[in-house]
A and B are shown apart, each in its own frame.
Chain A
């Protein structure tokens, strides 16, 4: 029982990191109807920014680990947001009115470009993210809760609430929902569509940037290809939860976190996890393509 609770905690931790990445997928899909396949690699870039920033702050700036953590996260969030806005401006905006397939292929292309550009410039060797959160283990009824887990889950939940409030309660959020609802009518009502789309990309990437730092604290090894796997998993989470739906994304991410942690418990090896996750995705697509919280789309004739 204690063992299971321990694993539940690990699943929650992983799920919250997935959720932070997943939100970027789902927000962009909600607004642009574009599967932004480059998002996983934007997350990877965020990890690298976090790595270089925190290492610099620690070794050259002689800052305390906690300050470094906060500063590093803010820097990573800002720079990744900038990167995502840049990608949107250069690669996606010219294709806004092209067939959707073109945009999806472009997204795939941008993702591969980011991976291999990082590989070519920074080299293939994995790097080790410095530990910034002072490790304290709390023992609660036999379950060991580490401070890293507490921080990860807390920051993730805070960011999710913030994002949910932004989308549901603010003027910008309302504009985002308006663009998502109808991109033709929204500008007629005075919604600056281009700016709203840029903001959406920036928000999604910033949250993924925070996810990058949190991920680096829990699993400190980063390499240029990490974005593919984690990106795919976050993407499955988005589809399972109902792509385009922010709350669905959170639910989907926690489900995926549980799958990843509990696959080795049930099946002989952790190598089955991709198989399980993608089979779940396939089942959802066949039986409930709109995901858990998605609205079924009606086909207009």
Chain B
């Protein structure tokens, strides 16, 4: 019988070896603060994108409120560092703070996963949308955390090394999840939920896991974001622009592909930075690109393919190409 090895290939060790570089570069002043900032945004966006790809790409659900989870994580971790934990130990406690933010977001993910047992497609999209709106609206109405004015007072604990480490960890966890038994269950839900259930896939368990993992990492990303900007307000986690941005990154890079998410998040973040001189027109160009992308290449750049480093060694089956939802009367796709 063929066995898929969980062991990381060489590339993961190489990527890990770069970790000290991300510590040293800023220390020696070899990289200017602006580039550092962009690098960290790219990392945070990769974490968010890979998480959402798990739900939207691999599971084939349509979650649109990913920034809601990010908001939960950001506020929980920010409150922890500012009010609860002793400030002088901040840098040491930072990973635990991030995990706590992630866990809070994961709890929210659990709540959102429950309606997904009964509804799919459009309705689940609306559930996640409502969740996003409720998170934003709830924070706006809690005066203690500043309401609509936002929350500040965090130390700048996020640095390149932390972002890099969490990005690697996220990618590695998602890769292992996708090629695990549950991951195959998640894929089978995308292909045909009823059939999956008939061959004894525990679809509920798979759905909950996918949602919770995606939410956890979004919460961590939120924590990183909060301690990078040192200021958060409810509008940072609104449906527009944040949730929409994450959606664009997922569909730009390619659904059902970790490599695609890395590519999508990187390209989108960098291009958005480059387009800064356009001012308001930037947000005219971006949605236009999205529409064109959907019309001409709806599966994104990678289009359900995967980069080698993200496929565990010994894995024979690449994720099956998503069955196109062929409507009657339409010419069969591909």
| A168 CB-CB contact with B under 8 Å | no
| B280 CB-CB contact with A under 8 Å | yes
| Shortest distance from the beta carbon of B255 to any chain A beta carbon, whole Å | 9
Contact in complex: A97, B287 (CB < 8 Å):
no
| Shortest distance from the beta carbon of A117 to any chain B beta carbon, whole Å | 5
CB neighbours (8 Å) of B330 from chain A are: 96-97
Contact in complex: B328, A100 (CB < 8 Å):
no
| B62 CB-CB contact with A under 8 Å | yes
Assess A91 versus B291: contact at CB under 8 Å? Given A35-B122, A282-B127, A285-B115. yes
Contact in complex: A109, B290 (CB < 8 Å):
yes
Assess A120 versus B281: contact at CB under 8 Å? Given A184-B329, A285-B119. yes
Contact in complex: A286, B62 (CB < 8 Å):
no
CB closest residue in chain A, given B255: A101
| B225 CB-CB contact with A under 8 Å | no
Contact in complex: B298, A102 (CB < 8 Å):
yes
| B251 CB-CB contact with A under 8 Å | yes
| B24 CB-CB contact with A under 8 Å | no
Contact in complex: B284, A113 (CB < 8 Å):
yes
Contact in complex: B134, A275 (CB < 8 Å):
yes
A8 to B329, CA, bound (A): 49
Chain B stretch 216-257: residues in CB contact (< 8 A) with chain A: 240-241, 244, 247, 251
CB neighbours (8 Å) of B333 from chain A are: 97
Chain B stretch 126-144: residues in CB contact (< 8 A) with chain A: 126-127, 130-131, 133-134, 136-138, 140-141
CB closest residue in chain B, given A286: B115
Please indicate which of the listed interface residues B133, B140, B333 has the most CB atoms of chain A within 10 Å of its own CB. Answer: B133
CB neighbours (8 Å) of A111 from chain B are: 287
CB neighbours (8 Å) of B325 from chain A are: 98-100
CB neighbours (8 Å) of B62 from chain A are: 101, 104
Contact in complex: B130, A282 (CB < 8 Å):
yes
Assess A104 versus B133: contact at CB under 8 Å? Given A99-B298, A112-B244. no
| A177 CB-CB contact with B under 8 Å | no
Number of A-B contacts (CB under 8 A): 131
Contact in complex: B295, A91 (CB < 8 Å):
yes
A245 to B327, CA, bound (A): 23
Contact in complex: B247, A108 (CB < 8 Å):
yes
Contact in complex: A289, B244 (CB < 8 Å):
no
CB neighbours (8 Å) of A99 from chain B are: 298, 324-325
CB closest residue in chain A, given B112: A282
| Shortest distance from the beta carbon of A203 to any chain B beta carbon, whole Å | 21
Partner of B119, one of A97, A232, A289: A289
Assess A275 versus B244: contact at CB under 8 Å? Given A106-B295, A285-B123. no
The tally of residues in B whose CB lies under 8 Å from a CB in A reads 50
| A17 CB-CB contact with B under 8 Å | no
- Give A271-286 as 1s and 0s: 1 = Cβ < 8 Å from B's Cβ atoms: 1101100110110011
CB neighbours (8 Å) of B326 from chain A are: 97
- Give B254-284 as 1s and 0s: 1 = Cβ < 8 Å from A's Cβ atoms: 0000000000000000000000000011011
- Give A96-139 as 1s and 0s: 1 = Cβ < 8 Å from B's Cβ atoms: 11111111111011111101110110000000000000000000
A116 to B326, CA, bound (A): 33
Contact in complex: A104, B281 (CB < 8 Å):
no
| Shortest distance from the beta carbon of B49 to any chain A beta carbon, whole Å | 14
| Shortest distance from the beta carbon of B65 to any chain A beta carbon, whole Å | 10
CB closest residue in chain B, given A116: B283
Chain B stretch 36-71: residues in CB contact (< 8 A) with chain A: 56, 62, 64
CB neighbours (8 Å) of A269 from chain B are: 141
Contact in complex: A239, B141 (CB < 8 Å):
no
| Shortest distance from the beta carbon of A186 to any chain B beta carbon, whole Å | 10
| A144 CB-CB contact with B under 8 Å | no
A19 to B121, CA, bound (A): 25
| Shortest distance from the beta carbon of A110 to any chain B beta carbon, whole Å | 6
Partner of A184, one of B251, B284, B328: B328
A110 to B295, CA, bound (A): 12
| Shortest distance from the beta carbon of B188 to any chain A beta carbon, whole Å | 15
| B194 CB-CB contact with A under 8 Å | yes
A91 to B293, CA, bound (A): 11
| B11 CB-CB contact with A under 8 Å | no
A100 to B295, CA, bound (A): 12
- Give B101-134 as 1s and 0s: 1 = Cβ < 8 Å from A's Cβ atoms: 0000000000000110011011101110011011
Chain B stretch 58-93: residues in CB contact (< 8 A) with chain A: 62, 64
| B169 CB-CB contact with A under 8 Å | no
Measured CB to CB, the residues of B under 8 A from A are: 56, 62, 64, 114-115, 118-119, 121-123, 125-127, 130-131, 133-134, 136-138, 140-141, 148, 194, 240-241, 244, 247, 251, 280-281, 283-284, 286-288, 290-291, 294-295, 298, 324-331, 333
Additional A-B contacts beyond A98-B294, A269-B141 (8; CB < 8 A)? A35-B126, A95-B295, A97-B331, A98-B325, A106-B295, A184-B329, A232-B133, A279-B130
Sampled A-B contacts (5; CB under 8 Å): A95-B298, A104-B62, A108-B64, A113-B284, A119-B280
Closest 5 A-B residue pairs measured CB to CB?
A97-B330, A116-B283, A109-B290, A112-B287, A113-B287
Measured CB to CB, the residues of A under 8 A from B are: 33, 35, 91, 94-106, 108-113, 115-117, 119-120, 183-184, 187, 228, 232, 239, 269, 271-272, 274-275, 278-279, 281-282, 285-286, 289, 299, 301
